[in-house]
Chain A
Amino acid sequence: MQTAKHVQIVLKDSMRDVAGLHVQSDAKKFLHIDTGKVKTGKIYSIVHPMPDDILLAFARNSLCDCIIHDLYIDRLFTSERFPAYILISKLPGVTDDEGVSAQKAMCDFLNIPFDYGAHVIFTHEIYYFENPLNDERLKTIAEELLGNPLVNRFEYGKFSGQVTYIPEVHLESQPQVQTIDIFVSDEELQKISRERLLALDLHEMQAIQAYYQNQLVQAAREKHGISQLPTDCEIEVIAQTWSEHCKHKEFNATITYKDLDNGAQKTIHSLFKTYIRRSTEIIRERYEKAGHNWLLKIFSDNAGVVRVDDQRVFVWKVETHNSPSALDPYGGALTGIVGVNRDPMGTGVGGASLLFNTDVLCFGPPDYQGKLLPGQLHPRRIMTGVVKGIEDGGNKSGIPTVNGSVVFDERYRGKPLVFCGTGGVMPAYVDGKPSWEKRIDPGDRIIMAGGRVGKDGIHGATFSSQEIDEHSPRSAVQIGSPITQKNLADFMQVAVARGLIKSSTDNGAGGLSSSIGELATIPKGAFVQLANIPLKYAGLQPWEIFVSESQERMTLVVEPQKVETLFALAEDFEVELSDIGYFTDSGFLDVRYGEQKVAYLDLIFLHDGVPTKRMEAEWKKPKLSEPIIKESLDYNDVLLKLLGSLNICSRETIIRRYDHEVKGKSIVKPLMGQNGYAPQDAAVLRLDFDSYVGIAISNGILPRYGDIDPYQMAAGSFDEAVRGIIAVGGRLPDPQTDPDIFWSVNDNFCVPDSLYHPQNNPDGKLKLAKLVQMNEALFDMATFFNIPMTSGKDSMKNDFIKEGVKISVPPTILFSMVAKIPDVRKTITTDFKHEGDLIYQVGHTYDELGASEFYHLFGELGANVPRVRKEQALRIYRKMMEAIEQQLLSSAHDCSDGGLAVALAECAFGGNLGALVELPDFDLSLNALLFAESHSRFVVSVAPQNQPAFEKIMGDDAFLIGQVSGRQKLEIDHQNKTVLALDVQAMLDAWRSGLVF
């Protein structure tokens, strides 16, 4: 090990240590530990040799801000005033962006070139505590508040003033290729799959065995000079390519579906093809018939593509990153968001200009009091870590986070759901050719761009069988590096604009094996030289290099004559490129490490050889009934409780941590109105600075409803997303009347394990039946509204299992929608604007309190879940479009969680105004009138002079229910009695204090 110099900066005593204050208050609030005053500091361990005077100058100028910091070198800060400390270091191989930045600063200071391959500055955080805490308490603070044992190393006790630990990576192994004997019995095959963590079942292992036993294959392998038995790399590549993540085996399975209530039975050959892809194909046919088609790319490539106009296309993708976020919430979410950024960046030619992020999160309640299983993080920690990850991922990349949602449910405490989406714009044509198409010819070079390769994200086959010492790199958890990717994104945009890149794709799951494996299907072959790939540290095996999921990497397809120019451009952007091979038409994926032959796989077998899965689904309707809840409640109290409840309260504490303004194009932001309190139903962005063409972005997610009816849950989620866009002034797509209005939807399914197993998953058939119904709803809604899925994702095993306890997420579907807005100036916000405006309920309320937030308040589920009435919804939405087109509305807000009462309160939050409301007699209980969550409804306000025109358009679908008042009070009357009267401020206080962290 090299000797290190340690530079420490700590805030001067006169400075307010905000980080320390937060630790002090969080330790008290969440861990019930009184730390006393907390002092924080940062330590840089530098292994680059420098004379003492130079080191001092570097530390003083480049690391320390001398107005606020004290500086210590080697003899670090200690004080009797702080008898306890915690030192937090990173484990070997864990991303240390700050260390890299310090290294860049050092190179600038010394005027020496930066070496991507040398890690010479390591950062640590140090916390000093005023109270003499024992080791057990320090350990608790370290592990449960400040760091995560999966990525951090902790020291605690009394600080000696010395740091000795440096997380350098040392690996001793020599790169070599091993073979795996798969000419063995079925039991042995399953053992191989299990021990190497291949996640392949027996049928799949047998298919692999059959391939290698095929005489033609054997002859080809002999000619190539590679072993008859599969190499380790080949097995890993097949496992990656055939993974659920890449091949969606369950969404492509043959499913036998039985309805136990009526005995009906049907067979579904692939949920994906039958419902999802087919629905979009039907819609596309309708558009083509009408002579228009803005659907350019669906369900292929990294993201779907639709046409905005002649000049540009819109591209977007929503992904999930659930399991990594359960292990390390910060790293998981950060990697999720910067990871999904690369999907639009790697679609078609690539280099899309990224316009926005959206994040939908499902957590357990942050105030959860129950027991935690080993390895299970507290929901509050998961939430704060995920939010911080998204904050850094979006803000540091300069991409506004404009839309999102947070859902709380006990069942997400095993595994949170973290949906991350990114949309961008590309020029329609690059070099005169369609930008959304991937063109690759034999001879084109394969260029890897961005970060280096380490053991990150490798599933750990070797990990579990290898002894871990203090210099083994940690690979299970990845932490993204937004700054590395920002440089890469900037570079790609310019390189694509200059015509230097022919196609590109990202390196996500499966790393190079997936990205090159997929690209190779276009020219029908590829040759890869693994020895050319730059590594984070020496000692990786060839197969590890090929499947590593190290982040911030793109694979670029470059014509040979353009390679030199591209490399020069990359140098300007400080992006590392490596030329790692070329495409062929050999039909094979040919991978070498130097002279060693690492893999030689038939591409047809690799991509089409996976056997179809067979699964069983059985549906039985749950037996449920409506509870009896009296109608003489204290409705003031009920509404305040609802407003403060986790699923309804303001998300301001989260929203404001995300930059939603960067790029200067946000028109309807998550919070609007005079004081910035009013929540909105969808985000609106303009696309450029000299026109008012824009897009609206919304989402729909209603997992609670699935406990009663999974079909209505999915249909309702779809409706929720549509009405969000209608509420802000969007227009439905229509092949006849609005041929240029594109809609582009990502569907994301996150479900528990739905594969039946008599012991491990006895209700697997019912879970699968729910999934089938969710797909049926998707098909029905999409084809009815002509709103197409363009991309999506399924995550099939969202269960947490430890010590015989299984916590499964409720079957969840998220619809993320984007629609073109012809003129953003005509969009509408939710806040009441003028005293005297008339308030209408648009749409119809039914006796539908099932799974409502109102019932949840009483611990009830009920039975009457809101149903989507498609025809009625379409009629109402068209009327809303007409009213907005004629600019008759002052405000519009959708009715969703908490029903009409909550919607009215939220409309009042934006503008120092109140409302006087007289509930209509709909022959419904007062509870339903106020709190039913029936779909396709809005609260709108209309200036009195627009009353006749508005009522003429709406006919029987709108009900005058009141007037905006100058008094800051919401008063609701029913049958000549005041049933609710609350000050807006009181409601606002309740609503804004529901989620403070």
Chain B
Amino acid sequence: MSKMRVLVVTGFGINCEVEMAAAYRLAGAEADIVHLNEVFKERVSIHDYQVLNFPGGFSFGDDLGSAKVLSNKFKFKKMASGRHFIDDLARFLQDGKFIIGVCNGFQALVKMGLLPNIGGNFEQEVTLTHNDSGKFEDRWVTCGVHPQNRTPFLKGIEKIDLPVRHGEGKLIIRDAQIERAILEQNLNCLTYLGPDGQPTADYPYNPNGSELNCAGLTDPSGRVFGLMPHPEAYLSIYNHPAWPRKKEQNGGSEQGEGLQLFKNMVDYFSNH
């Protein structure tokens, strides 16, 4: 059987593409890192891949708001043949493929309307904006996984430690109707947990003051998944700030918890 192929886009200030690609390679997939202009000039087609990845970073320096300029490009800039990238994304999803966005990638997915996309028309329904602290912060958090989540990335995971590194990770939902739909359809797949293991609004366990204490979303199909924490930054146990103890607790395993997400995806494709 041929290996799963994933596309990791880069350019314009995206900066987590290398570790994102490494995650898939360690999980057993093939990963190509491609500048977005190669896609826009149609030298590379997203349709040759099974998973499309929007990594973290500071696209356009977060000017005009995080990922704002990038999502604007995806929605309005015409590709070489005159199509819009967002239409390609729609087709990609119709083909049963998957999109993940981490941090700046999540912000881009939200701002171009791919998440949560309850209305199904790529209209922006939520946003990610400045943390309540008003500061960029790098810290490790614990996230709980919604047991009825819809993404294969999170299969079998109940709880996960990951680093967050963002200034604009606070989820704000447009209105009560959208919020209800998110809850009813179990789209809030990741939730910040306190030391007691319960969802929390308390800083710093919830690092940004997100509504629903939400750290990640899927769309109703489960094919689009976005999250603020960085699973690609926890591929090895030695990335964890308490790795000496963590390693003892894990019976010496050297795998980071973040790698499991990517392994899950490889498993998913080998079974489908």
B51 within 8 A of A: no
Closest-by-CB residue of A relative to B131 is A18
Interface segment out of the listed B132-140, B149-157, B185-193: B132-140
Contacts of B233 in A (CB 8 A): 661-662, 664
B144 within 8 A of A: no
Q: A573-B37, A664-B239 are in contact. Are A19 and B134 (CB under 8 A)?
A: yes
Q: A101-B63, A483-B13, A486-B15 are in contact. Are A398 and B58 (CB under 8 A)?
A: yes
Q: Give which listed residue, B135, B139, B174, contacts A676 with CB less than 8 A.
A: B139
Across the interface, do A490 and B10 meet the contact criterion of CB distance under 8 Å? yes
A391 within 8 A of B: yes
B129 within 8 A of A: yes
CB neighbors of A among B7-36 (8 A)? 10-16, 18-19, 22, 25-26, 35
Question: Among the interface residues B60, B64, B134, which one has the most CB atoms of the partner chain A within 10 A?
Answer: B64
Q: Mark B183-202, 1 if CB is under 8 A from A, else 0.
A: 00000000000000000000
Contacts of A669 in B (CB 8 A): 241
Contacts of A395 in B (CB 8 A): 58, 136, 165
B232 within 8 A of A: yes
A146 within 8 A of B: no
Across the interface, do B15 and A398 meet the contact criterion of CB distance under 8 Å? yes
A-B contacts counted at CB < 8 A amount to: 190
Closest-by-CB residue of A relative to B254 is A825
CA distance A692 to B134 in the complex (A): 37
Across the interface, do B235 and A483 meet the contact criterion of CB distance under 8 Å? no
Q: A664-B22, A672-B241 are in contact. Are A65 and B132 (CB under 8 A)?
A: no
CA distance A739 to B174 in the complex (A): 62
Across the interface, do A660 and B138 meet the contact criterion of CB distance under 8 Å? yes
Chain B: interface secondary structure?
Answer: mixed
A656 within 8 A of B: yes
CA distance A661 to B136 in the complex (A): 13
How many residues on A have C-beta within 8 angstroms of the other chain's C-beta atoms?
Answer: 69
Q: A101-B61, A108-B76, A483-B61 are in contact. Are A674 and B136 (CB under 8 A)?
A: no
Across the interface, do B75 and A664 meet the contact criterion of CB distance under 8 Å? no
Across the interface, do A661 and B138 meet the contact criterion of CB distance under 8 Å? yes
Closest-by-CB residue of B relative to A398 is B15
Across the interface, do B63 and A97 meet the contact criterion of CB distance under 8 Å? yes
Question: Among the interface residues A655, A676, A686, which one has the most CB atoms of the partner chain B within 10 A?
Answer: A676
Q: Give which listed residue, B19, B68, B138, B241, contacts A62 with CB less than 8 A.
A: B68
CA distance A102 to B111 in the complex (A): 16
Across the interface, do B127 and A109 meet the contact criterion of CB distance under 8 Å? no
Contacts of B255 in A (CB 8 A): none
B41 within 8 A of A: yes
Q: Give which listed residue, A18, A574, A672, contacts B130 with CB less than 8 A.
A: A18
Contacts of B65 in A (CB 8 A): 65
Contacts of B242 in A (CB 8 A): 672-674, 910-911
Q: A398-B58, A676-B139, A911-B245 are in contact. Are A666 and B239 (CB under 8 A)?
A: yes
A68 within 8 A of B: yes
Contacts of B124 in A (CB 8 A): 65-67
Q: Give which listed residue, A65, A102, A396, A890, contacts B58 with CB less than 8 A.
A: A396
How distant is B141 from chain A, measured CB to nearest CB, in Å? Answer: 10
Q: A661-B233, A667-B239, A674-B245 are in contact. Are A97 and B61 (CB under 8 A)?
A: yes
How distant is A854 from chain B, measured CB to nearest CB, in Å? Answer: 30
Q: A67-B174, A661-B165, A662-B233 are in contact. Are A105 and B64 (CB under 8 A)?
A: yes
Q: A396-B62, A397-B15 are in contact. Are A661 and B239 (CB under 8 A)?
A: yes
Closest-by-CB residue of B relative to A673 is B242
Q: A67-B174, A398-B57, A663-B19 are in contact. Are A102 and B165 (CB under 8 A)?
A: no
A689 within 8 A of B: yes
CA distance A61 to B73 in the complex (A): 11
Contacts of B234 in A (CB 8 A): 664
B217 within 8 A of A: no
Q: Mark A663-692, 1 if CB is under 8 A from B, else 0.
A: 111110101111010000000001001101
Across the interface, do A689 and B235 meet the contact criterion of CB distance under 8 Å? yes
Q: A111-B77, A659-B165, A664-B22 are in contact. Are A65 and B238 (CB under 8 A)?
A: no
Closest-by-CB residue of A relative to B248 is A833
Across the interface, do B72 and A108 meet the contact criterion of CB distance under 8 Å? yes
Q: Give which listed residue, B37, B60, B134, B137, contacts A22 with CB less than 8 A.
A: B134
A482 within 8 A of B: yes
Q: Mark A553-583, 1 if CB is under 8 A from B, else 0.
A: 0000000000000000000111000000000
Across the interface, do B238 and A667 meet the contact criterion of CB distance under 8 Å? yes
B78 within 8 A of A: yes
Q: A104-B69, A664-B232, A911-B245 are in contact. Are A67 and B130 (CB under 8 A)?
A: no
Q: A98-B64, A102-B64, A661-B163 are in contact. Are A396 and B139 (CB under 8 A)?
A: no
Contacts of B73 in A (CB 8 A): 105, 108
Contacts of B236 in A (CB 8 A): 686, 689
Contacts of A825 in B (CB 8 A): 238, 254
Across the interface, do A67 and B172 meet the contact criterion of CB distance under 8 Å? yes
CA distance A104 to B69 in the complex (A): 8
Contacts of A660 in B (CB 8 A): 138
Question: Among the interface residues B41, B69, B124, which one has the most CB atoms of the partner chain A within 10 A?
Answer: B69
Q: A572-B37, A658-B138 are in contact. Are A396 and B61 (CB under 8 A)?
A: yes
B38 within 8 A of A: yes
Across the interface, do B16 and A572 meet the contact criterion of CB distance under 8 Å? no
Across the interface, do B241 and A67 meet the contact criterion of CB distance under 8 Å? no
Q: Give which listed residue, A22, A65, A481, contacts B129 with CB less than 8 A.
A: A65
Q: Mark B58-90, 1 if CB is under 8 A from A, else 0.
A: 101111110011001101111000000000000
A16 within 8 A of B: yes
A150 within 8 A of B: no
Contacts of A273 in B (CB 8 A): none
Q: Mark A888-927, 1 if CB is under 8 A from B, else 0.
A: 0010000000000000000000110000000000000000
Contacts of A666 in B (CB 8 A): 239
How distant is B228 from chain A, measured CB to nearest CB, in Å? Answer: 13
Q: Give which listed residue, B11, B15, B129, B163, contacts A573 with CB less than 8 A.
A: B11
Question: Among the interface residues B38, B76, B138, B235, which one has the most CB atoms of the partner chain A within 10 A?
Answer: B138
The contact sample of 5 A-B pairs, CB cut-off 8 A, is A661-B239, A664-B18, A672-B242, A689-B19, A890-B244
Other contacts beyond A487-B11, A661-B239, A672-B241: 8, CB < 8 A: A61-B75, A101-B69, A482-B61, A486-B13, A574-B12, A657-B135, A667-B243, A829-B244
